Amino acid sequence: MKKKPIYLSWLCLILCIGLISCNSQKSTLDVSNEEKALFNSEDEEPVEIANAETEYEIIIIEPGFYTWLNSIAKPEGYYSQSFLENRNAIMVINWNQRVLQPQQWNPNLYEMQINYEPNIDYGYEVNYKLYNYFIYFQRKYNQRLGPFLPRI
């Protein structure tokens, strides 16, 4: 009796292991009930992002963001300014590309371009609040503005 090669069995086994390992990666965010409640909040207290020295200002009127920033987000000083600047530069590029493609991206989410120049020092507070708005936005609307998961 001849023994048949079992190449096909090994190939199927390797393929199954590969598929299982690909599917085991987390693709959704773990959003707590507290965070979900803030996303559904009607609290519309504006968050002003300003630097008097550079004369830049952003006002964010997003329900729940003010409370989220003060209760869920990492505190000021947690991230370095260079970290915030690098992440903001990436997310602003993606944001602005989506503003320019309303047929592909929801124009109700991406309404206005953000004028953010990476070579300008906006200061820590501006970068901190802008970064956290991007994290809040991505988590609330299940969006990705960069190659990394928006974690807190």
Tens digits of residue pLDDT in 30-68: 888 888 888 877 777 778 877 677 677 778 888 889 999
Burial 73-100 (b: 16+ CB within 10 A, else e): beeeeebeeeebbebbeebbebbbebbe
Whether 81 contacts 127, CB under 8 Å: yes
Q: With a cut of 50, say whether residue 19 has pLDDT above it.
A: no
Domain enclosing residue 135, as ranges: 30-141
**Do the domain assignments include residue 24?**
no
Average pLDDT score over the chain:
81
Q: Which of 57-71, 77-91, 108-122, 129-143 shows the lowest per-residue confidence on average (mean pLDDT)?
A: 57-71
**Do the domain assignments include residue 69?**
yes
Q: Number of structural domains, the chain?
A: 1
**Do the domain assignments include residue 22?**
no
